[in-house]
Structure formats: structure tokens, C-alpha cells
Amino acid sequence: MKQLVFCDTDLCVGCNRCVRNCPVETANVVTSDSEGAFRVDIAPDKCIACGECIAACQHGARSYVDDLELFLGDLRRGAQIAVMIAPAIRANSDELGRLIAWLRSLGAYKVYDVSLGADLCIWGHVRYVQQYRDAQIITQPCPAVVNYILKYLPGLVRHLSPVHSPMASAAVYMKKYEGIDAPIAAISPCIAKSHEFESTGLIKYNVTFEKLFKYINDHGVSLPATPSAFDHYECGLGSIFSTPGGLKENIEFFLGHSLTIDRSEGKHTVYKKLDEYNEQNSSNLPNIFDVLNCEEGCNMGPASGNHNNYFYVNRTMDKARKAASAGRDSNYFKSLYNEYNSRFQLDHFLRNYAATPASIPCVTDADLERAFLLMDKHTDTARKFDCSACGSDTCYDMARKIALQVNIPENCLQASRERSIVEHKVLSELHRTNLNNAAQIEQDVDRIKSFVDEVWSHIGEINTTIAGFDKVEDIIHDISFQINIIAINASIEAARLGEVGKAFSVIADEVRKLSKATQETMTENHVVLSAAASTMGEMNAMIKKILDAVNSAYDKVQAINRANAESADVAAAVAAK
């Protein structure tokens, strides 16, 4: 079967509403991305196209396809197409006549009311149970229910009513008894009808109310002012078929209460009851089990686009019931059925089914145990927490889905909460430790800052001393120079004195040597002092960088301490609440 329901995982937020509302255990697959965000995709081979996930999704992530575009495109190309409209249209539009006129203007050459097919479907069920008194059948006008049985309860295929649905019955009538060879388009409120049409081959297009109304609205279509009518005679009570219990009501109208007829509607109950039906002895089963996926029947189907409320829909369909029976007594309907008996062959309105069982692995107790452990559920209390936040009704159901690999342990809210509590305790302890460490670091940095400040002070003193020594060096250099001049003058004078001045000359030479030695020493000291001054300059620059870095670190540590203190205050306030 072709895929009808789709998921845009970019729009999915992992809220689990689709998982919670889906009647099928394995149709939704939960995963998480690299950032830990949950996403829920569809397993197409497991989906029964009931549309419950689309109705549940509030984020626009789920959608479906029908044949509207194909239908309109073929009409534009001049294809001859016959149309049938489901009786639920009465609960969804006040413009039926004008809608029929518009379809004719597009090229639809025949337009039939599926109420006629509903009459034939009811007639077929009456004839069938009259012929097979011991039959125990499950009605099949709802293709989502049929899909569920074919995929998940193949043992019930033998109980599926062989009588065609109202739409298929109408198609048989149009083809076999009206001689219509053109393809047929059905305008319906149901997504899953596409699967029924695919399997029976009777109808080519499934055009849903919702997409048709949206097309008319989006394209500003103005419906013709003059309404048109259907192409066949008045129907019986088939117009109420789309109401919950409609088939039961019709059968009891003709056969009274001679048969046991049970009914169930709505995804919250019908599939569980089908599971129970599958487990019952035949002695407990009714003659007819009338079932519908939609709680309010086809009138508010998943593709109806219906924005009307329950009471409006019921009042509208009650008017249709009264209109169908107005001026007609039971003799009229009996004569109508006698006409059907003479005109139609029951076997023309019967079908066969082919089960297509979905592959569901067997889940063992060991598999369940592993799943529970993955969710950190070790006690009976934890395993019966049953909060349903994961989308499953019970923790046991969630464990099954984990074992079936369609859900993940991280999607368990209770386990995530417990892990969060533990992680919070660990982080709180780590936070307290970090506060203590940060305070110690602040003290250490403060001490380093004081030490660097002291070194910087000493470096300043050394710089001052070196500068003072430079001045002393200049003075000594000047004195040495003057001594050297005096010594030279003394030598000159000693030479003039001859022998008397020789001794004085020796003293002058020694003084000159002392002056020279002094100058050489001061020159060497100058080289050393220059190197020292250069080194001190580099040390000054280095100490300045260290001081700047220490000051910056000190400011950052103080900021971290303030932030940690504020965080601790907030955490304490939250804990107090």
C-alpha cells in the first residue's frame, strides 16, 4: 500500500502527542539527534492511515496526500470522470448543490450521492445475514479498521464483512448497472479510503473534503449561483450511514432486533475491542460488530476539514434522516428493498481480502527487563509509574516499544527526572567545591599580586641607585681628568727644575698613571652599568607584563567568585521553594 501520511521531522518537536494518539504500537519511531532533541518519524509499512496523528499534531509536522491535484489536472486535460460524494458532505458544507454545479463546470459528467451506495451496502448486509444466519461479521466501511485487521489481526480477516463499503458499492452500481466506463473520483472525508480504492480497483481518485475546500478557498473559486443535483433517484436511509451506529440502525430497521449487533467508535476503544474480539470464543461474538475509527463517524473524519461542533453535525444529520423518511412509511422501504432484490445480484457487491501482516518481532521477558534497566527502572514501583509522558499508556508499553526499537529510553520522563535529580546533586556538590577552590585561588592570586608589587618597588629602587651611580661615575671621571691635567703640568714644571725636579716628576708620573687607571676602571664600570641598565630595562618591561596579567587574573577570579556566589544564592532560593 502506498504511503499516505508523512512527517516533516524539521517541524517535529518530539512532544509525543502523535505517539499517544496513534492506535498502533509500532507506527511511530522516536529518535534523538546529536543535540539530544527528540523527533518522531513514521514507519510507513506499520501505519494504518487513520489520521489520528495529524489531528493530534499542533506543530504542522504531520500531513497526508490525496488525489486532488491529479483529479483536477485530468479534468483540465479533458478526461471524462464520474464523481461520487460521501453523505458526510452534508455535515461539512451548506453548498452541496453549488459544489455539484462547480464540479460539472470542470467537466465531471456524472455526479452520484454515495448515500445510494450506502443503501446498497445496507441491502447487501441484510441479504448476507439472511443467507448466512450463523455469520459473525465485522463491518468494513472504515478502511483504517480494515488496515488494522489486515496488518495486525490477520486471524480476523475471515470475520471481515465481504459486503463492499458504501463507496465501493456505489462504484459497482455505476459501473455494472449504469454502464459508466469512465474512471471514478470519490469526494470523501477519509484519508485511508485511498488504500481501499487501491486494493479494490473500483475508484481511481480519493479527493478529500479538506483539501478540496482549501483549494476552493486558496484559489478564490466562486461557486456557480445556480445549484445542481445528483444524477440518480432518491435514496433510502443511506444518508445517515456516516453517523455512528448508522449501519446498525438501518439493519435493525429492516430485520428488527433478531440479530445481536454491537458497535464501537473512536480510536480510544475500537482497536482495543478488536483485540478483545480476536481473543474471544465464537459463542461470545455478536452477529455484527459495527466499527468505525472516528468517534463521531465519517461526518467528522480526519480529512473532513470540519470546523463544526458535535451538536451542529448531529442536528444536520438528524435533518437528513428526517428528510429521507419524510412521507415514507416502512412499506416504502420494504418495496425499495424488493426492487433491489430483483435488480441487483449480491455477489456483485462482495469482495475478498488479502492479509498483509506487519512484521512485529517477538518481545521476550528478557527484552522487557533490558528495556526497564535502560530506563533505570529497577523496582516494581518505578515500573508502574505510568505517567504516559512518553506517549505510551504504561511503563510496560514503553518497555515494549524500546524492545521493538520504536522508542528510546531517553524519552522516559520519569527516568530523565530521576537522572536530573542525581545530576543536580552532583553538580551542586561540584559547585560548592568550585566555590571553595575559587576562593583559594583568589587568595593565592592576591598573594602573588602583593609579591609582584613588592618586586616592582625594589626594581624601582635599583633603577634609582643605578641612576645615582651614573652621576658619581661622571664626577669621578671629571676628577680623574683634572688629576691627569695636573700631573701633566707637574711633569712640565719638574723638567724645568732639572735634577731638583726629578723626584717631583716621578710623583707626577704616578699621579698620571692613577688618573689613567681610574679612567679605565670607570670605562669598564660604565660598560657593566650599561649592560645592567639594559637588563633592568628588560626586567622592568617583563615585571610590568606580569603585573598586568596578575591584575587581570585577579579581576577575573573576583568576577567568577561573585557569579558563583549569586548562582549559589539562586539555587538556595529555588531549593527553598
What does each of the 577 residues of the chain score in pLDDT, given as a tens digit? 899 999 999 999 999 999 999 999 999 999 988 888 899 999 999 999 999 999 999 999 999 999 999 999 999 999 999 999 998 888 888 899 999 999 999 999 999 999 888 889 988 998 999 899 889 999 988 999 999 999 999 999 999 999 999 999 999 999 999 999 999 999 999 999 999 999 999 999 999 999 999 999 999 999 999 999 999 755 665 555 555 666 777 777 777 788 898 989 888 899 999 999 999 888 889 999 999 898 877 777 888 876 667 677 777 767 766 766 666 666 777 777 788 889 999 999 999 999 999 989 999 999 999 999 999 999 999 999 999 999 999 999 999 999 999 999 999 988 777 767 666 677 777 767 766 766 676 676 677 667 667 766 766 767 677 666 666 666 666 666 666 676 576 567 656 665 655 555 666 566 567 667 666 776 766 666 677 667 767 767 776 777 677 677 767 767 776 766 666 665 565 555 5
What angle do the packed helices 330-343 and 114-131 form, to 10 degrees? 80
Q: How far apart are CA 234 and CA 227, in angstroms?
A: 17
| pLDDT of res. 111 | 96
Query: What is the C-alpha to C-alpha distance for residues 352 and 374, in angstroms, rounded to an integer?
Result: 45
Using the 8-state DSSP alphabet, how is residue 174 labeled?
Answer: I
Q: With CA atoms as reference, report the closest residue to 456 among 536, 540, 537, 534.
A: 540
Q: What is the CA radius of gyration of the chain?
A: 48
Judged by DSSP in three states, 481 sits in helix
Q: Give residue for cell 704616578.
A: 510
Residue 160 has what DSSP assignment? B
Query: What are the extents of the domains in the chain?
Result: 66-298+312-345, 363-400, 415-576
**pLDDT at res. 372:** 94
Residues 6+ apart with CB under 8 A from 222: none
> Cα separation of 32 and 37, whole Å?
5
Separation in Å, CA 397 to CA 18, 57, 271: 15, 21, 16
> What pLDDT, on a 0 to 100 scale, did the predictor assign at position 43?
95
- Torsions phi, psi of 83, nearest 5? -125, 145
Could you tell me the pTM of the whole model?
0.75
How far are the Cα atoms of 30, 382, 390, 399, 498 from residue 411, in angstroms, in the given order? 8, 15, 6, 11, 121
pLDDT digits (tens, 9 = 90+) for 137-186: 999 889 999 999 999 999 999 999 999 999 999 999 999 999 999 999 99
Tell me, what DSSP letter sits at residue 173? I
pLDDT at residue 8, rounded to an integer: 95
Q: Are 27 and 48 in contact (CB under 8 A)?
A: yes
Strand order in the sheet with 184-188: 110-113, 82-85, 184-188, 205-208
Instruction: For the beta carbon of residue 166, count every other beta carbon within 10 angstroms.
Output: 28
Per-residue model confidence (pLDDT) at position 408 = 93
Topology of the domain covering 415-576? Helix Hairpins (1.10.287)
Query: Residues 485-527: pLDDT tens digits?
Result: 765 765 676 566 656 555 556 665 665 676 676 667 767 666 6
272, three cell numbers = 482495543
Report how far residue 130's alpha carbon sits from residue 126's, in angstroms, rounded to the nearest whole number: 6
pLDDT of 510 reads: 62
Q: Which residues contact 229 (CB under 8 A, 6 or more apart)?
A: 97, 100
